[in-house]
Amino acid sequence: METMKKKVYLGSDHGGFELKNVLAAHLREQGWETEDLGCYSAESCDYPDFAAAVGRAVTANEGTLGLLVCGTGIGMSLAANKIPGVRAAVCGDVYSAKMTRRHNDANILCLGARVTGPGLAEEIADAFFSSSFEGGRHARRVAKIAELETR
Ligand code: RB5
């Protein structure tokens, strides 16, 4: 399912810095607008800082999506999912990337640069960013995820 090209906020720590840059160039080549919220070098840094920045940007700007890259993608997803309204999904395969947009309305893709090579990462990103939420029965379920934030 195709969607309109939108803005993608990017973030990484040192472990994901190189892959983030590869994916940023790949997304821009395909017409996506990107904004990199850091980190800006391969110097050691703390992934929650960048997960928070991207999570806040995505939830503050309706219709935008995010991409977070660390060593495994897991730390980024754990941190980003603390921000209300974020649905961050770690994906290591193309099918999950497509389905988490279609069924979970995931708004941030998390990738692990020490797990997933650049070729597969590009295919995963393509699947995620070109898919859109199906709504219907899935909207009820996603609403139940949001309800958990207030309990
Ligand atoms: C940094 O060494 C590493 O812990 C981080 O990139 C990430 O994999 C955490 O989940």
pLDDT tens string 58-115: 999 999 999 999 999 999 999 999 999 999 999 999 999 999 999 999 999 999 999 9
Band of residue 150 on the pLDDT scale cut at 50, 70, 90: confident
The residue whose CA has the least distance to atom 10 of ligand 1 is 75
The answer to whether residue 1 is domain-embedded is no
Q: Which amino acid is at 107?
A: N
Position 53 in a domain: yes
Counted domains in the chain: 1
Tell which residue, 71, 117, 68, has the closest CA to residue 89.
68
Residue 5: predicted pLDDT: 64
C-beta 19 within 6 A of ligand 1:
no
**Radius of gyration of the chain from Cα atoms?**
14
What residues does 94 pair with on adjacent strands?
A: none
Query: Which residues are within 8 A (CB) of 28 and not within 5 positions of it... i.e. 6 or more apart?
Result: 34
Q: Whole-structure pTM over 0.85, yes or no? A: yes
pLDDT(39) > 60: yes
Q: Is residue 85 one of the residues assigned to a domain? A: yes
Strand partners, 10: 36, 67
- Asked whether residue 60 is assigned to any structural domain, the reply reads yes
Give the range of the structural domain holding residue 35, as residue numbers without chain letter: 7-148
Question: At 95, which CATH number?
Answer: 3.40.1400.10
Nearest residue (CA) to ligand 1, atom 7: 71
Would strands 65-70 and 88-90 be described as parallel, antiparallel, or unpaired? Answer: unpaired
Find the helix or strand (DSSP H, E) in which 36 lies: strand 33-36
Please work out whether the CB of residue 47 comes within 6 Å of at least one atom of ligand 1: yes
- Summarize the confidence of residues 31-56 as an average pLDDT: 98
Residue 2 lies in a domain: no
Q: Which of 77, 36, 86, 32 is nearest to 59 (CA)?
A: 86
| Residue 32 identity (one-letter amino acid) | W
CB 19 within 8 A of CB 118: yes
